A and B are shown apart, each in its own frame.
Chain A
């Protein structure tokens, strides 16, 4: 666009010369022109996108309106039956609220702890490089493997209960009690991913100009005031990234629950992800699973997109 537009204005400006008539371009040419490199460059990506992302998602949306079980050749259209069934389905409702509880707890924990850790490892403590490594390391570890490790720690004769007994407290059923199981799952996931928020905030902190903080100190701000009024507003972009990543992760997560509780006790830790997996692949109700997945997509979209909008607006206001 830039190139052609520039060339055109140039010819108009120097229109005095009759030789400068622009080369005839057909409408097709202009519509099809990429303005840069050959379309062949993007062809493989488009092919993969259509085959692996777009087509399956559209098909999935289509199956939601049928009674298909994933095996039979016959597929019957049955309108909104799957969605009607969902409204009366107590398990779906419980899975939705569990998913939301986990997602929002993760956002809060990751943002608050991640920010505190980032401030610590960005200060002039001597061990800051070691601390960064320690807090970040779990981020790269395989979630399912880490979860099995925590399963031992949470088990009835596991580490946590041993420690509780040592200080004279009653052992708890970490994975057996519905509320505690939910908390345990959140602990494991936070442990694994707080380092990610930390490094994102750290990158934001390192971009804060030191003059601004010094100016605030000279003006008599105490450290807390300085962080609250100067540093935090400048961290708005990092905040957006952290919140969105934590939300998406919280809404989608699967491995930790698979390893720790399998959705139990009862259905206390069943999330939409584990539920879709169970319905579609273990019960073979493909179309009902697709309908749940569709509602799930809507929930994710309805939550994530506005959050992104609000946070971005804050960035601009401060930027």
Chain B
């Protein structure tokens, strides 16, 4: 398959791949189709395209699952977590990339340890801690959890990138009389923008999609995030799939929109970022 030559074999692969892709994406088609049908319609023809789209399901799901509140809650949690992760992570990585090798290695091992050890072991005491601090049921408990849980990975990404930057930049800034902080803010941070993009994309998707933690920390509170609100709603509404699917569609719409805008960046971010 030398690039550029389009042979009969390539065509066969193309056809097979296209068929596979259609089957692959079929569940998503189904999701949207059924969400747009009334109960009587989807129970007879679940798979046909929605010729007369019905939007009542969306209205009902939006109100009954409190999805408006859930969206706000998710956005608050994601934004706060990202701001803290980017700031704390980039600061720490700058230190790691520029410190003595032995110290750097020790800290690196601690980072790795946190990524391999299952967080389940810490989940219970952390829950206890949040309860004692009165943070259960507030978005802060989640923000604290994500900042801790995603920090080692964030530091990893940043450190690899900053290490590759020549120290000459730092030194030039120092000679010009810049403090560490000024060097970082005005010289280093602007140069690491691409990896900041990756950090934001990966953490955003993780935090937005996480279900188990908010299930524990926010259950029954007004601050339920989108996955928790949708799950709670679906579990009581499981009889009418039209309404259920409408809730699901609203639930994944924000991530889908993000993906539509950032497709290439997201794929590159996931491919490159998780390698660090």
Instruction: Give 5 closest A-B pairs by Cβ, nearest first.
Output: A52-B148, A36-B98, A56-B122, A45-B92, A35-B100
Interface pair A144/B231, CB less than 8 Å apart = yes
| Residue from B25, B97, B117 within 8 A of A134 (CB atoms) | B25
Indicate whether B252 reaches chain A with its CB closer than 8 angstroms. yes
Q: A36-B98, A134-B25, A241-B275 are in contact. Are A45 and B209 (CB under 8 A)?
A: no
Inter-chain contact B110/A49, CB cutoff 8 Å: yes
B72 at the interface (CB under 8 A from A): no
Please tell me the number of chain A residues within 8 Å of chain B, measured between CB atoms: 98
8 Å CB interface, A186-208 against B:
191, 196, 199-200, 202-203
Known: A123-B10, A304-B116. A56 touches B125 (CB 8 A): yes
The chain B residue sitting closest to A223, CB to CB, is: B1
Identify A120's interface contact among B13, B87, B127, B215, CB under 8 A: B13
Category for how many chain B residues contact A = 35 or more
Most chain-B Cβ atoms within 10 A of its Cβ — which of A57, A132, A297?
A: A57
Interface pair A33/B245, CB less than 8 Å apart? no
Given known contacts A56-B125, A127-B17, is B120 in contact with A42 (CB within 8 Å)? no
In the assembled complex, B123 has its CB within 8 A of some CB on chain A: yes
Interface of B is mostly: helix
Contacts A33-B100, A159-B30, A214-B2 given; does A45 touch B151 at CB 8 Å:
yes
Contact B95 A42 (CB under 8 A): yes
A37 x B118 contact (CB < 8 A)? no
Is A267 interfacial (CB 8 A cutoff)? no
B residues within 8 A CB of A200?
Answer: 270-271, 274-275
B54–chain A nearest beta-carbon distance, Å = 18
Contact B255 A152 (CB under 8 A): no
Taking each of B123, B216, B259, which has the highest tally of chain A beta carbons within 10 Å of its own beta carbon? B123
Q: A44-B91, A136-B267, A143-B211 are in contact. Are A35 and B248 (CB under 8 A)?
A: no
CB distance from B98 to the nearest CB of A (A): 3
Contact of A34 among B99, B227, B258 (CB under 8 A): B99
